[in-house]
Amino acid sequence: MTKTQSFQKRLTSLIRQVYPDQDTKLLVDAIQDAFWPDGKRRRKRGRAPSNDLWTEQDALLITYGNSIIDGAHKPLDLLHDFLLRRMKGVLNGVHILPFFPFTSDDGFAVSDFRSVNPQLGDWPDINRISEDFHLMSDLVLNHVSSQGTWFNGYRQGQMPYDRYFFEASPDDDLSNVVRPRTTPLLQKVETSNGPRHVWCTFSHDQIDLDFRNPEVLLEFLRIIRLHVDNGVQIIRLDAVAFLWKEPGTSSIHLPQTHAIVKLMRLLCDYSVETIILLTETNVPKAENLSYFGQHDEAHAIYNFPLPPLILHAVMSGSAHYLRHWQSGMPPAQMGCAYLNFTASHDGIGMRPAEGILPTEEQARMIETIKNIGGLVSMRALPDGGEAPYEINTTYFEATAQTFAGKDDHHFDRFICTQTIVMSLEGIPAFYIHSMLATPNDHGQVEHRGMNRAINRHRWDYPTLNALLDDPTSDQARILTALSDRLRIRAKQPAFHPNATQFTMPLGDRVFGVWRQSLDRRQSIFALHNVSDQTVVLSQLSMNLIEDETWFDLLTGHDLDMDQEAVTLAPYQCRWITNRGR
C-alpha cells in the first residue's frame, strides 16, 4: 500500500463514519479541494507522531486583540508593540482570542469568519504578529452569530445556508443534553419556511451549526486554510465537544465529533505547513483525555483541572487533591501534549474538579472567592437544578487570601501558582491579566451585565507602561518575576513538554514533581510550598544522585549535600537540578 493510498483509505474510512449516506468519493475530493485549493499540494507522507512539534522554549500568552488600547492606534498594533517590548525572549507564542467581527460573547458569536474585526485591525496586522510569535487562532466551529450572514441566509431560505443550522422540536427528548448554560436550549425563530426551533448550546445569539450537512464541514476546512495562509500555526477548536447533536442523547462527545477531529488531524498531518490542533473541552478528566484519541486526534488538550486544583491548594495550604489527581494523570501520548494554565478569558471552570474536589471543598473555594469580590456562574442540570459552572475572577485576585483569611503572602502565593504551571509536563500558557496582575474589573461587570467581564479588563497602554516602568507596582513586580522564571525555564531540557514526570510524595504542604529530559541527562526536582508555613524536606526524599552537583535554578545557589534538609519558605518554589544554569 502506498502512502497516497494510506491517506485516501484513512480519509475514506472517516468520511464513512460521519457521512455514511453521502457519496464518499465525491466527498473525499471535495475535502481535499477545500483544504488544498488553488494548486496547493499536500505532503507525500504524513507526519508521524513525535515530540518534535514543540520544545521547552514554547510558552504562550493568551489575550484579546483589544486587551491593550489607547484610543488612537489599532489595538493589534499595540498588542504587537507590547509583545515585542515586554514578551520577546519570555514567551514565543500568542493566542489572540477571536479577532473576527462578532455580536456578543466577546468574539465567540462570530458574524464573519473571513475578516478581521476592523476595530482591531486587519489581516496584515495579524501577519506581522505571526512573523515574530507562534500564533494561535480560534475556530469557533460549534455556532455562529444570530445576526451574521449565515443565519440571515438561513432565515430567508437561501442556499447553502438553509441547511447550515441544527433544528429540533420541543417534543424531542432533550432531557439528557449536557449544557454549560441555564438559558433554554431551543429558540423559536421565524423563517421563510415558517417557524423553526434552532439549537443554542450557549446563548440565543449563538446558533448551533448542523455538521450532518457536509457543506458545513467543508466551509470550516476552507476557513482553517485561510488561517494557516495568514500565519496561524495552532488552531483552537472551540467548544468542539458539542459539535454533533442527537436528540435522546447527551449531545456531547458523540462518535461523529471524534471522527471529525480525527479527519482534521489527518489533514494537518499531511499539510506542508506545521499545524497543531488544540481541543477546548472544559469537562472532567476522562472525557477531556479522550480527545487525544490514539494519537490521531488533537495534538494538544487543555489541562482543565489545573486552575481549580492549584487554587484550592494555595487557599487550603494543602496539595492533597492536586497531588492525588496529578499522580493519576497519564503522560501525553507520542505526538501529543498538555496545555497547562491557571487562567483564561473564561472563569475558573469547576466541572473539571468534579470527582476530584469534594463538594464541601468546592463550597469553601466559592465562599472565599465571594469574600474577595469574585462571582460564580451556574449551569443547568438535567433535573432542572443548577450547579456551579465557573468562578469569575482574575487569578491574581483569587490568590489574595486563603481559607484562613488575608495575610502578607499574596505576591509569593500567586507566583507559586504560576510556577507550578511552568514545572509540569506540557506547554505553559498565561493569560495576559495574570502576567499583569490585573485586579477584578467590577465596573465592566456592571456596565456589561456579564460575570466574565470581571476578568476581561482593557488596559490603557500609556497607563500600563507607566505601571510596568515603576518597579514597585504590582504589575511590574509580577511581570518581572514571571518573566525571569520563564527565561530560566526555556533553557532546561527537563522542561520539554514531553520530558518524564513523576509526582513526588512529599506530604500535603509541598507539591513536587521530578522531571527528566528526553535524553535523561538533566533532572529537575520542582518543589512548590503551597502553604504559609516553612517546610523542611529531607534530601533523601528527593533521591538526589550523590556524585552530581545539585543547585537551585531559582536562587542560583548550590545545594549543600552535607546537609540533610532542604528548606522552603512560605509559598517558595525551588527548581533543583544537576545541569545548566
Q: Residue 196 corresponds to which amino acid?
A: R
The reply to whether 346 sits in an annotated binding site is yes
At 84, list the grid cell. 515585542
Residue among 58, 138, 238, 269 flagged as catalytic: 238
**What residues contact 193, with CB distance under 8 A and at least 6 apart?**
157, 162
Element (H, E) at 574: strand 573-577
Q: 38 a known binding residue?
A: no
Question: How far is residue 91's CA from residue 134's CA, in Å, rounded to a whole number?
Answer: 9
Answer for the pair 433, 455: CB distance below 8 angstroms, yes or no: yes
| Nearest one of 361, 497, 369 to 425, comparing CA atoms | 497
Task: Tell me the DSSP string of 97-136.
Answer: ---S-BSSGGGTSBS-TTS--TTT--HHHHHHHHHHSEEE
Active site residue 558: no
Q: What is the separation of C-alpha 343 from the centre of its chain, rounded to a whole number of angstroms?
A: 9
Q: Judge whether 237 is annotated as a binding position.
A: yes
Task: For residue 425, give every residue at least 6 positions away whose Cβ sits within 8 Å of its Cβ, in sequence order, or none.
Answer: 331, 332, 338, 497, 498, 499, 501, 513, 515
Q: What is the DSSP letter of 344?
A: -
The reply to whether 452 sits in an annotated binding site is yes
- To the question of whether residue 253 is assigned a binding role by annotation, the answer is no
Q: Is 134 annotated as a binding residue?
A: no
As a whole number of angstroms, the distance between CA 419 and CA 24 comes to 49
User: Does the annotation list 345 as a binding residue?
Assistant: yes
- 379 annotated to bind ligand: no
Q: How far is CA 246 from CA 22, 180, 205, 260, in A?
A: 19, 17, 21, 16
Among residues 90, 57, 53, 83, the alpha carbon closest in space to that of 68 is found at 83
Nearest alpha-carbon partner for 263 in 512, 18, 2, 553? 18
Annotated binding site: 105, 143, 236-238, 345-346, 452
Catalytic residues: 238
Instruction: Write out the binding residues for substrate.
Output: 105, 143, 236-238, 345-346, 452
